[in-house]
A and B are shown apart, each in its own frame.
Chain A
Amino acid sequence: MCLVNIKSNTYDAIVVGSGISGGWAAMELCKKGLKTLLLERGRNVEHSKDYLTAMLNPWDFPHRLRNTAQYIKQNPIQTWAGDEADRHFFASDEHHPYIQETPFRWLRGYQVGGRSLTWGRQCYRWSDLDFEANLKDGIAVDWPIRYKDIAPWYSYVERFIGVSGRQEGLSQLPDGEFLPPMELNCVEEHLADSIRKNFDRRTLTIARVANLTRGWEGRGPCLYRNLCTRGCPYGGYFSSNSATIPAAMATGNLTLRPFSVVTEIIYDDAKKRATGVRIIDAMEKKTYEYFAHIIFLNASTIATASILLNSKSSRFPDGLGNDSGELGRNLMDHHSSAGAYGVYKGFKDTYYKGRRPCGFLIPRYQNLGDGEKEAFLRGYNLQGAGERQGWEEQLFDLKGVGKDFKRQLTQPGPWMIWIAGWGECLPYRENKVTLSPDQTDEWGQPLVKINFSFGDNERLMRKHIKGSAIEMLDKAGFNKIVSFDYQTPGGSSVHEMGTARMGHDPNTSVLNGFNQIHSVKNVFVTDGSCMTSSGCQNPSLTYMALTARACDYAVSQLKSKNL
């Protein structure tokens, strides 16, 4: 896999963005025989070879993994997520400014593989509880699909990426096709038992993650280093770099072009279709045009919206496909700032070996449609982990100096568990992405403006999360329970979605049930921007399933000459 010389400017398909959904689009289209150009605005990151920090020890880093004060000042968003070992996989604020009309953390992965290198790897299916929610609540617009439409594609995706997890038979969180689950440790098993005994409808299960518990598709298995975000040289977790891009490359149909900042989709008024894309080479700063029959837009929610808003023509003066006025609106992000933690006095003589790269999940148990209704709509799941405290957790806890202090510092501390809620965010029309009329970036492109705030529903939910996290820890005999709500701004969950939503009606949505722009059928949008509501599940698995489904549809339409 390397930068291929661009010999031609015409392809069967163009994919914009090489992150988790773009990688899938490229692989599916290539496997189906389409000559595909994959455009990525950042540098190339070749699997294994370019994971420069992956094998370093803590003492190999000049600041022992910490960011310097000056670096944080210049890059407050990047350093919120990235440390000395992995921040090179997050775009720097300094070089990629955007305008926060309200505080919003826009974390970006400007490199081949995008944020699939640094994602949390959680893979949760949606159910009809999610797909029917907008219709039942009379909120926003109805999803044009239901679980049965996407279920086979969830399976298709899971079989390729490899998801470890445990079957639980829950209707609100359908089981998938799992590799053997990772195991809970003793304190987590203890909490699981207590929850089973004390609470109806609540289950604690191991997280379902794209970390491989056995070798899979030539990758892995996971070696339990828990250094995933540096890139895994063993291919222990799924990323575009480790899986979809190499598979696409192997077909001989892929051309990968890094350093390609897509500025707009070219629309032909006469043909009434998109004919290609215009890019600026990030290094040369020269403009190029590429043409194709179909275009997949997978630049990530906010960037995709901004590319479409920037694609103006006489037919679409307000941005490509924006007849409804919904383009850039309805921005959502899960809230994940509230929860609780506590310590447990037992299991003093047990410990674990290995660093499991995930925690546990307590699937959503509120508003399941079986009569019990909360003060808020929709719901949340709880995620957490149990461990014995180490020096980092006890940094300010240990008193004194000298031998005794050192002994305490270097022996395993008490067991603790933290739990935090990941909650659904409703689609509010006023939460939106727009383009600055006067400010531009290094490439002359308008700066993105983000206006986002959570509403009362999310606030009520966070309060509920704190209360129930405390309750569950308390019932299980935990001590020193502390609840928290950091009130982090939007973007902090890095689950932004909704800016080009799917729907039945072209007057109120941007995309149809197959992710085609209603009025420009040869443009497909299958990243987070297509989401009509947010559910509370980590969304990447759904993006991948929708992408594979849309690719299958696109190729069948091409074959039957409908596109």
Chain B
Amino acid sequence: MIMDRRLALKTVTAVVGVIASISLVKYLKPVRLKSHRHSVKLANFQPLIANIAETIIPRTDSPGAIDAGVADCVVKLIGDCESREVQQSFVDWLKRVERDSEKKYGRPFSSCDYPQRAAILIRYEHNDEQNSLFRKLRLRVLGMDGMELMKKYTIISYCTSMEGATQALAYDYVPGVYQPCLAMEAGQKCWATN
């Protein structure tokens, strides 16, 4: 039990960094509030994230991003796996998407039709090649921008979800064999895992 509490404490302090404290109660209170407020902040954008994700990966004959619960996963992954600064820049980008939508179409992103949504997002795409020097420099200096983060985490969340992996991709839980060169069948999906 002592171990559990120690671990829990470590986890909580981990969220906000080390804060000097006088008593345990005082120590925990601001931490909880702060971390709570923080996670709410990103989660507030969940509906917008869901709509953007569905624009990137729409439902077709296979599940779309919303079917696969991508938005919750994107919120969790960006919230836990990216730095505060990156999270902030992501939130800023989400706000910019809304502003763009209002400016261009006079309505929020969620009220736009599919072509309008796609048009808004496409403007954020970069055309530099993955291995180009320009891209490397841009990433080193500026880091990934909002659209890149959004696409990255949408793809990860979708392709590792049960819906995405088993219905849009080919998921082979226990292959049992290795067959090195097979003639590809029509409509062959990409394997979900390496």
Contact = CB atoms under 8 A, between A and B. Distances in A.
**Do A and B share a complex?**
yes
Interface of A: 57-59, 62-70, 74, 182-186, 188-189, 223-226, 347-356, 387-388, 390-392, 395-397, 399-403, 405-406, 409-413, 480, 482
B180 A68 contact: no
A390 B189 contact: no
Nearest to B168: A410
Interface string B16-60: 000000000000000000000000000000000000000111101
A400 B76 CA distance: 24
Interface string B110-126: 00001000100110010
Nearest to B150: A401
A406 B60 contact: yes
Contacts of A223: 174-176
A354 B179 contact: yes
B8 interface: no
Contact of B180 (A184, A395, A396, A410): A184
Nearest to B121: A401
B155 interface: yes
A355 B194 contact: yes
Contacts of A482: 131
A467 to B, nearest CB: 18
Given A63-B81, A183-B180, A224-B178, 13 more contacts: A57-B173, A58-B193, A59-B165, A63-B80, A223-B176, A348-B184, A349-B183, A353-B177, A401-B118, A403-B60, A405-B57, A410-B168, A410-B169
B157 interface: yes
Contacts of B183: 349-350
B188 A354 contact: no
The interface size bin for chain B is 35 or more
B176 A392 contact: no
A185 B180 contact: yes
A406 B58 contact: yes
Contacts of A62: 76
A480 B182 contact: no
B55 A183 contact: no
A395 B155 contact: yes
Contacts of B165: 57-59
Contacts of B192: 58, 390
A406 B151 CA distance: 12
* Pairs A-B, 5 closest by C-beta atoms: A354-B178, A354-B175, A58-B160, A185-B180, A64-B160
Contacts of A348: 184
A67 B81 CA distance: 7
Given A391-B155, A401-B121, A411 B174 contact: no
B156 interface: yes
A182 B189 CA distance: 24
Interface of B: 14-15, 55-58, 60, 62, 73, 76-77, 80-83, 114, 118, 121-122, 125, 127, 130-131, 148, 151-152, 155-157, 159-162, 165, 168-169, 171-184, 188-194
A390 B179 contact: no
A225 B184 contact: no
B130 A65 contact: no
B25 to A, nearest CB: 23
Contacts of B121: 401
Nearest to A73: B14
Given A354-B178, A355-B175, A226 B194 contact: yes
For the complex, would chain A's binding face be called helix, strand, loop or mixed by DSSP majority? loop
Contacts of A388: 190
A403 B178 contact: no
A50 to B, nearest CB: 19
Contacts of B169: 391, 410
A396 B130 contact: yes
A63 B191 contact: no
B62 to A, nearest CB: 7
A411 B184 CA distance: 11
A64 B179 CA distance: 27
21 contacts: A57-B165, A58-B192, A69-B82, A189-B181, A223-B175, A225-B173, A225-B174, A226-B194, A352-B181, A353-B177, A353-B178, A387-B194, A390-B191, A391-B159, A395-B155, A400-B122, A401-B55, A401-B56, A409-B190, A411-B190, A412-B191
Given A396-B130, A403-B58, A410-B189, A186 B155 contact: no
Given A57-B165, A356-B178, A402-B118, A410 B81 contact: no
Contacts of A70: 14-15, 80
Contacts of B189: 410-412
Contacts of A189: 181
A46 B80 CA distance: 32
A241 to B, nearest CB: 20
Contact of B193 (A347, A351, A355, A401): A355
B143 to A, nearest CB: 13
Given A186-B180, A355-B175, A59 B160 contact: yes
Contact of A65 (B60, B131, B160, B178): B160
Contacts of A392: 159, 194
